[in-house]
Chain A
Amino acid sequence: MIGYRTELRRSPLRWWFPLLVLLDLAAIFGRGRWWIGEWPMTSVQAQIPAFYLAPLLAAAAAWAAGRTGRNGLRDQLAAAARPRPQVEFAQLAAALTYGLLAYALGAAVAAGVSLPTAGPGFLWPGYLLLGAALMVSFAAAGHLAGRTFPGGFATPVACGLGGFIVIAWAAGPQQLGLFAINGAPFRTVSWPALAVRLALAGLLLAGAVGLRRPGGRSAGRRALAAVAFGAALVVVTVALTVTVPLQVDRAAPAQPLCTTGAPTICLWPEDRNQLLRAQAMADRMRQLPTALVTLPARPIAELGLGRGGSRDPEGFYVLEGDMWDPAQTMAGDIMEASRPQGCPDPAVSAFTPEFYRASGELMMWLTMRIYGGPMPATMHGGPPSVDLGAVADVVRGTDAEQLAWAGQRSEVIHRAYCG
């Protein structure tokens, strides 16, 4: 403990710690507030700062590890009774302590702000462990680099920049899968995938503190350890690629949360803070003019609740905590249910640009009606050639005006199907 306490006291991160905490909180809250009140999203959000902390830790660990060489302590360490891995571990543990403490504080704050509005449950450990594994892996790699190349500038800078490049280009959920960016309730971290990432962190940690330059009394053993480390690294890297995607579907809950009355909208229990909004949307759907639209008969369910799991084509997804995307899905369902019946399938040539525009406009009108307003500024996209502002103006009009406007679009669609 003396060595660890000493390393804690002299770690450069001692002075940077407040900045690490600020960075952590900025990464959590700077991306939006939509995750508040939803445990899996809060968990992923608490993991997001690891993207930034991990490369910084790699740089700091490289700088700290290089001090032994820069300050000329090689002979003293070589003459030490204490096993070298313990000495190195104390140093690396100090850097990790500051990094992981900042990470844990951020997670605690995220949990604290979610707690009042989220239902039963808490942070999902899988996501938090994923972020921790990323930080340990990067710090260990930085430590190893610092031991090997003890420069005080080039090595830490290379480790920091290299870390950011790996995060940006190779570590994403669809690449090496070292982190998650989406905490939808219908998905969770695959435990085998997490185990492999923890194994990577453990392996790099062992290598960072245990590997020594071949030579001296245990030259053969050291060389063998280096070869074994390299081989294990190859195996774990292959395992990383094999265990992508990182997230797997969760089993649907026996009792999802559903709105009352028809049509019914069902949500994952983790999305309980959307239930009131969903109920309002269901109520608004009931108020749609039945002369123009037919409401779907089956419950409208969040992805993962239906038979198709997370790939259910009829399920909706609460994107970034907003019900706009679900409203779009519901509008699509209504368009499908309202398709002219009894007419033969038209030739593709019947679908003119006018048809596509009418379909798009009608769909966006339905979306805004269900959503209860125009598309929020945080959302993007929409059908091509549809003026969303103009549709929003229509939604603000009287019922009669809206009915006439929608009737014209419906007529165009009907003509395309039934001539």
Chain B
Amino acid sequence: MDPVVRVTGLTQGYGARTVIEGLDLDLGVGAFGLLGPNGAGKTTLLRTLATIAPPGAGSLEILGRRITSERSARRARREIGFLPQDFGHHPGFTVHDFVAYCAWLREVPARQVHRDSLRVIEQVGLADRRNERMKALSGGMLRRAGIASALVGSPRLVLLDEPTVGLDPAQRLEFRELIRSLAEDTAVVLSTHLVEDVSAVCREVAVMAAGRFVFRGTPAEMTALASPGTQGDTALERGYISVLGAGR
């Protein structure tokens, strides 16, 4: 079976500055965690996977189709749900308007938009606030509305950049449960600073530093790499710090 995402020899940058260099990645169904310090290239990789930024070099395939043109990118975007790190919203929109608008942007068939918007709004726990304006929501609720906007239309690839920022502990637990169930039949890429989110939901994890992967494996494998004496509250955190240290 073809992977959902295949990246080969990806080099990406802004002007003269190279952010990602020679990266290869195959992703199938399941949750994939992307860890790394600020500036490691996580957001750039996600923007590339979202087909916003064309590869500087190398190739990108989504669902078996190579993305070489705006037309092929647009076709792929119908199957991609993307939550940017600083996602925007129109403050006057209601939650339902916002999610439905995002569905419209993704060309979800018109007859499905209303029903599917209600479904994902309920999934993120905002059903009782679906008619509230976005400007009236708290930070955590806004984040959940953003997650709903990425899930509407049942995309086959979901890219979430720092999705749990602003969520309280209970909401984070609910979010993890949501991602776990989503990852049963969807490829989910979760970029985050929070290693516990990764350990809770991701089958596979990669650590990025300076534009390349310094680790790829399961959370358990990363935990096993923890060096004695490394600081960290959990075994996975210690593994992560160790991997980063070795990568540098």
Q: Which residues of A contact B (CB under 8 A)?
A: 1-3, 6, 9-10, 67-68, 71-83, 87, 216-218
Would you call A75 and B104 a contact (CB within 8 A)?
A: no
Do A6 and B87 contact each other (CB < 8 Å), given the known contacts A81-B75, A81-B78? no
The answer to whether B82 and A73 touch across the interface, beta carbons within 8 angstroms, is no
Say which residue of B51, B78, B110 sits within 8 Å of A2 (CB atoms).
Answer: B110
A258 to B149, CA, bound (A): 71
A68 to B89, CA, bound (A): 8
Contact B87 A10 (CB under 8 A): no
Residue of A nearest to B107 (CB): A81
Contact assessment for A10 and B52 in the assembled complex, using a CB-CB cutoff below 8 Å: no
Contact partners of A73 in chain B: CB under 8 A: 88-90
Decide if B87 touches A72 in the complex (CB within 8 Å).
Answer: yes
Q: In angstroms, how far is the closest chain A Cβ from the Cβ of B86?
A: 6
**Known contacts A2-B110, A216-B54, A217-B70; A81 and B88 CB within 8 A of each other:** no
A226 to B51, CA, bound (A): 23
Tell me the count of chain B residues lying within 8 A, CB to CB, of chain A.
36
The chain A residue with its CB closest to the CB of B68 is A217
| A218 proximity list for chain B (CB < 8 A) | 69-70
Known contacts A67-B90, A73-B90, A74-B88; A79/B51 CB under 8 A: yes
| 9 additional A-B residue pairs with CB within 8 Å, beyond A71-B89, A81-B75 | A2-B100, A2-B113, A6-B104, A10-B90, A74-B88, A76-B105, A81-B77, A82-B104, A82-B107
Which A residues are in CB contact (< 8 Å) with B102? 76
Minimum CB–CB distance for B13 against chain A, Å: 14
Q: Report the separation of the CA atoms of residues A204 and B120 in the bound assembly, to the nearest whole angstrom.
A: 39
* Residues on B with beta carbons closer than 8 Å to the beta carbon of A9: 97
A68: B residues at CB distance < 8 A? 88
Given known A-B contacts A71-B88, A71-B89, A73-B90, A79 and B52 have beta carbons under 8 A apart = yes
Q: Is B84 an interface residue (CB 8 A)?
A: yes
B215 at the interface (CB under 8 A from A): no
Name the residue of chain A whose CB is nearest to the CB of B53.
A216
B198 within 8 A of A: no
User: Closest A-chain residue to B73, C-beta based?
Assistant: A217
Say whether chain A's binding surface is mostly helix, strand, loop, or mixed: helix
Asked if B52 and A78 sit within 8 Å, CB to CB, the answer is yes
Q: Is the CB of B101 within 8 A of A6?
A: yes
- Would you call B100 and A87 a contact (CB within 8 A)? no
Please name all residues of chain A whose beta carbon is closer than 8 Å to the beta carbon of B113 when the two chains form the complex: 2
User: Given A6-B100, A218-B70: A81 and B87 within 8 A (CB)?
Assistant: no
Nearest CB in chain A to that of B88: its residue? A72
Distance between Cα atoms of A217 and B70 in the complex (Å) = 6
Residue of A nearest to B113 (CB): A2
B92 within 8 A of A: yes
Residue among B51, B54, B74, B86 making CB contact with A72, cutoff 8 Å: B86
Q: Which 7 A-B pairs have the closest CB atoms?
A: A72-B88, A73-B88, A80-B105, A81-B77, A75-B84, A2-B104, A81-B78
Give the chain A neighbours of B52 by CB distance below 8 A.
Answer: 75, 78-79
The reply on B91 being an interface residue by CB < 8 A is: yes
Q: Does B106 contact A (CB under 8 A)?
A: yes
Assembly CA distance A247 to B127 (angstroms): 60
B178 to chain A, nearest CB (A): 20
A339 to B50 Cα, complex, angstroms: 89
Q: Once bound together, how far apart are the Cα atoms of A78 and B54, in whole Å?
A: 11
Cβ–Cβ < 8 Å partners of B80 in chain A: 79
* A369 shortest CB reach to chain B, Å: 66
Q: How far is the CA of A77 from the CA of B105 in the complex (A)?
A: 7
Bound Cα distance A77, B90 (Å):
13
Closest-CB distance, B73 to chain A (whole angstroms)? 6
Q: How far is the CA of A285 from the CA of B186 in the complex (A)?
A: 93
CA distance A10 to B97 in the complex (A): 10
CA distance A82 to B71 in the complex (A): 10
In the bound complex, what is the Cα–Cα distance between A149 and B7 (angstroms)? 36
**Contacting residues, chain A, for B88 (C-beta < 8 A):** 68, 71-76
In the complex formed, the residue of A with least CB distance to B76 is: A81
Residues 42-70 of B contacting A (Cβ, < 8 Å): 47, 50-54, 69-70
Residue of A nearest to B159 (CB): A79
A217 to B56, CA, bound (A): 10
Contact of A71 among B50, B70, B77, B90 (CB under 8 A): B90
Of B69, B77, B88, B93, most buried by chain A (CB within 10 Å of CB) is: B88
B91 cross-chain contacts in A, Cβ below 8 A: 71
Question: B residues within 8 A CB of A75?
Answer: 47, 50, 52, 82, 84, 86-88
Cα of A78 to Cα of B53 in the assembled complex, Å: 9
Complex contacts, B84 vs chain A, CB 8 Å: 75-76, 79
Chain A residue with minimal CB distance to B89? A71
A392 CB to closest chain B CB, in angstroms?
62
- Known contacts A2-B104, A217-B73; A76/B82 CB under 8 A: yes
A340 to B190, CA, bound (A): 103
* Shortest beta-carbon distance from A206 to chain B in Å: 18
Residue of A nearest to B82 (CB): A79
